[in-house]
Each structure stands twice: as structure tokens, then as C-alpha cells.
Structure 1
């Protein structure tokens, strides 16, 4: 596996989708009652890239967008947020950039995703070769990019090139059932890719999918450490997270917040967590930085626009007591 000290270069290549989010406006409005919407950059990989830039890192996005107004919106937004878009290719024809119609609500909030013939699935091996993953401090891949070809094969090549160059590979499982033909297919593909990654981050549902029917997701997380992963973060929603390394395991809680929506937390966590590791933070401190960023994003409108800066996370941590540990860390120890 790669040396995680390489993260200190703080230059990241992120693979996955960018999209347009349309939020019913003003916040709290239901989509079926809305007469106006506000537009924002979305998509898990784009959000992560923005989160990294906001945390003082450099991030390039590797994806495809449709050659139309929605694709151009995403390109313009990426540029405005300071994300390197040199490896974002516009595809013609009937491919379409993802569109999400979202409510800023905690109770019964709706998020309707349009992913028909998704443009980001058009990513090819040629796109990966042109991006040269070996040049970066780490490769960050999102699981949705594995859901269809040719994107799946392109991601596999990116992982192979990164590993050959000693570049750490970070895997955000990012399981979206509507992108896959079945949970069994997702489990098989995720298992193959996760076994090649240095850092794996996912929630309870995502690890459960990887584990398969009748198996425990936490056991799957332990198995990844045994197989060679260096850090595995098993997120448990309001119960916090369990983090496993080769040396230890620990549980952390969540920071209290006045959430106005559930979306964006995972992307902000991943960005701030990786940025924390890149700046020399110990694993626990990096997890807490990710948790702080997540708490801040769910209290703001939007996803990409809501990503906090490094200074904002620092200030949040300075004024907010650490969340209590949830559960007995000994119960989570790797085998």
C-alpha cells in the first residue's frame, strides 16, 4: 500500500460526477408547492473537490458533463470554486449531466435525482491517462463512478496507475441504488475495488451492501483492514463513526447542530477528513475535522456552496467541545 505521507502534497484528483442541484426556494418550501428554485453545483465528486479547495488543498475533477447548458453551468461553477476542470470532458449526443431537485427540509425532505444516460458514465481510459494520476498526492474515487461502463473500467485503470506510482487511493463508497442493476453487482464491484484502496469511507448501509446479505457491515470494515487498508471509517449517522486502523480502533460522536437538511454531510466529511490528514493531523483529529465540516454543511443551504473553509472549521472546533464518544472502542477492534 502507498505511504499516506504523500498526502502532504495536498493535490488531489477526484473521480466522479458533477451535477446541477435545483433547490426549492425559499428554504423549507416543498417542491410541489415551489414557484422558484435556486441553482447550485452538486454531485458527490464535485462537492468533495470543492470541500478540498475550501480546506486549502488543490483539487482536479475527472469526469464528463453533457455538452449543453447544464454541463456548461457545472463547468462555470467548478471554475468559480477554484476546482481544476482541465480533465472535465464535454460529451455530445444524448448523454445528460445529472440533475437533482431538492428540498431544504429535515422532515420528509424530498430529493429527486435524474440520472438517465448519465454523462459522467462516459468517462474512458483515455480520459484517465490524460489526467496522469501519478502526478497527484492522492486519488479520490466515488463509488457511483463504478456503476456502469465505460466509467467502471476507467476507474479501475486510474486505481492501477495510482498504485503503480505509490499514490494513495481513497474510496468514498457513495452507494446510490438507482445507479446499479442490483445490490449484488454493487457488492462484487465494491469488494474488488476496496481491496485495492488505502482509505475507505462509507456509512452503515454502504458497508452492509459490501458485506452481502446476512453479513455485518462492521465485520466487512474490519476485513478491509486485515486485507491491507490503512484507514477505514464506518459512519453511523447520528451515532457518530467508528474508525479502524492497523494499530487501533476508536469511536467518535457527532457535533450538535441545527440541521436544515440532511444532504452534503458525507461529501464535506470526506473533504475535511482528507485535508486534515494532508496537513499532518492524527487520524482521530482528522475524523473530528470531518465531523465538524459535516455539522456545518447540514446547517446551510446547498452542498458545494455550503462547504466550510479551513478557517471556519478551525473556529468551529475552537468554540465547540469535542462530541462524546459513542460506544466501547474495544468492541470495534480490528481482527
Structure 2
């Protein structure tokens, strides 16, 4: 078990993809009716890294990008956002960067993902073994990196190296069915990762999937604490979240917002939540800051550019003293 106090160094190593998001423009336009698109940095891990930087932390991304104009776009965007890309390498041949074509629409939002020959899945042992883990305060990854080889094995190797260096492991389940050869394999691999990590964040559908039964997601989240995790956040969309530790559970609600789109909330939540823990804030406050950041992002265009700064988040919270929903304490099950 890693000491979560290590987080206070506020230097995060993030594993996973960076991609290009093409948004139909202006907001509200359907993809099939669009004559213009706006490009932004995307990819769950890159978004989380941006969220951490904007919350006053440092973040380095370990990934591979395609050796072409789209890959160079991603690298330039990482630079623009202040994300360290020392360990972002290019992959040649037929490898291509993740590409998402997305709408800024709250209802019936289409998000078309292109992941054929994804460059980030080429992340290998040499990538994760080149990192000086002692420089960092925590390792963060999303479930996307586990969907294919050699990225999967490299990620588990990174877990081992980070653990030996005393880093807490933070895992965002982030299940994307289109990336996996089978649901059974994904469930087994995610369960293996969950049994290793210290902080695990996912939604009710993802935990239900890990459990192999949609009705048993909360039981699965609780079991991860029994297996060694220190914090599990079980998100339930509009119903808020249940945060589980060895000392018990508490529920939190959501902050109301006028959403423009459904994308980016999870990445924003994780970034603000982890940054708040790194600042030494209480766990409940960290969850609420994550929830507020998620509310802010869905009300803005894009994902990476929508991530709030710490000042933005503080101002939002000053105007929104409490979220909708309950915050009842529960005893551990």
C-alpha cells in the first residue's frame, strides 16, 4: 500500500493516449450537417494531464503518437498546455493517432471514434522503463491503455516500477467497449488492475461491468477496498457518487449546470479530484471539487480546452455552495 501523502508532491505521471478531437462548429451543429470543424487536443489521458496542470500540478504523459501531421498536432498541443512530453514517442508505419469527430450537443450527441491501428497501443516496455519514477508523486492511468498489447503489459510493468518507487497508483476505469476484443477479457484485466491500485474511479456501469453483473457494481467497488485499494469513487451520473474507504462511505451529489455536451466530465473529475488530494484537502472536498469541475466542462466547448483552472474552479464553488443530491454518511459494508 502506497502512502497517499506522497501525492502532495503534486507531480503526476500519466499513461495513455493523446488524440485529436474534431468538433462540428458552431456548437449545436450535427456532424452530417457540418461545413466546418474545430480541432482540439483530446484523448482521456491527455485530457487528465491538462486538467492536472490547470489545477496547479505538473503532469508528464507517457504515450506514443503517429509519425504524421496528426501526431505532431498532439505534441504541439501538449506543449501549449504545459504537459511534459519527454516520454511521448512517435510510432511510424501504419500507426495512426486516435481521432474523435464530436458534436457539441447535450441531446443525441454523436461521438465517432477512430481507433484503427492506434499509435498509443504501441507503447512498450522501453517506454515505461525509461521513466525515473522517483521524480513523481503518483502514477495515473485510464483503462484504455489496457485494451491491447504491448500497451497492456507495459502498463502493468509501469505499475510494478511505480510501486517500487513508492508512488500511489490512480486508476480511472474508463471502459470503451470498441477497444477490446471481448467483454470477458476486459473484465478480467480491469479486475487485475483494480486489485493493484490505490485510488480507483469509475461509474456505476463500469463497476457493474467489472463485476460481470450490472446490479453488482457497488458490491464490486466495495470489494476493491477489501482487496487493498484505499479510495474507490463510485459515480452514478445525476445521482452523484459514493466514495468508499476502509473507514466507511459517504455520498455526494452533483452541481447543476446547463450542459452543452456529455463529454469530458470524467477526465475533468479525475484531474480536479487528484489535484485536490495533492493539495492535502479532505477526501469529501476533493470529490466535490471533482464534481464541480465535471459540471464546468460539460458546459463548455471541447474537452482539453474546457478544463478549468484552479481559480476558475474556486470561483465556481464560491457561487455554488453545495451540490444537488444527498451527502449522507454510510457505514462500510
Q: Give the alignment's TM-score, normalised by structure 1.
A: 0.98
1:300 aligns with 2:300: yes
- Give the structure 1 partner of residue 178 of structure 2: 178
How far has the Cα of 1:334 moved from its partner?
3.0
How far has the Cα of 1:321 moved from its partner?
2.0
- In 1, Cα distance between the equivalents of 2:230 and 2:327? 22
SS of the equivalent of 1:170 reads strand
Summarize deviations over 1:268-297 as a string: whole Å, max 9, x none: 000000000000100000000000100000
Deviates more, 1:124-133 or 1:271-280: 124-133
- In 2, Cα distance between the equivalents of 1:324 and 1:54? 25
Is the Cα contact below 8 Å between 2:221 and 2:232 reproduced in 1? Answer: yes
- In 1, Cα distance between the equivalents of 2:80 and 2:214? 46
- Give the structure 2 partner of residue 309 of structure 1: 309
- In 2, Cα distance between the equivalents of 1:93 and 1:326? 52
- Give the structure 1 partner of residue 165 of structure 2: 165
SS of the equivalent of 2:130 reads helix
- Give the structure 2 partner of residue 45 of structure 1: 45
Summarize deviations over 1:53-92 as a string: whole Å, max 9, x none: 0000000000000000000000000000000001000010
- Give the structure 1 partner of residue 244 of structure 2: 244
- In 1, Cα distance between the equivalents of 2:213 and 2:42? 31
1:125-204 alignment runs, 5 A limit: 125-204=125-204
- In 1, Cα distance between the equivalents of 2:214 and 2:248? 26
Q: Give the alignment's TM-score, normalised by structure 2.
A: 0.98
- Give the structure 2 partner of residue 334 of structure 1: 332
How far has the Cα of 1:327 moved from its partner?
7.3
- In 1, Cα distance between the equivalents of 2:154 and 2:74? 21
- In 2, Cα distance between the equivalents of 1:283 and 1:292? 14
SS of the equivalent of 2:218 reads helix
- In 2, Cα distance between the equivalents of 1:113 and 1:276? 31
- In 2, Cα distance between the equivalents of 1:306 and 1:213? 34
Q: Which runs of 5+ in 1 are unaligned?
A: none
1:208-287 alignment runs, 5 A limit: 208-213=208-213, 216-287=216-287
- In 2, Cα distance between the equivalents of 1:319 and 1:35? 38
SS of the equivalent of 1:261 reads coil
How far has the Cα of 1:328 moved from its partner?
5.0
How far has the Cα of 1:215 moved from its partner?
5.3
Query: Aligned residue pairs: how many?
Result: 333
Q: Which runs of 4+ in 1 moved over 4 A?
A: none
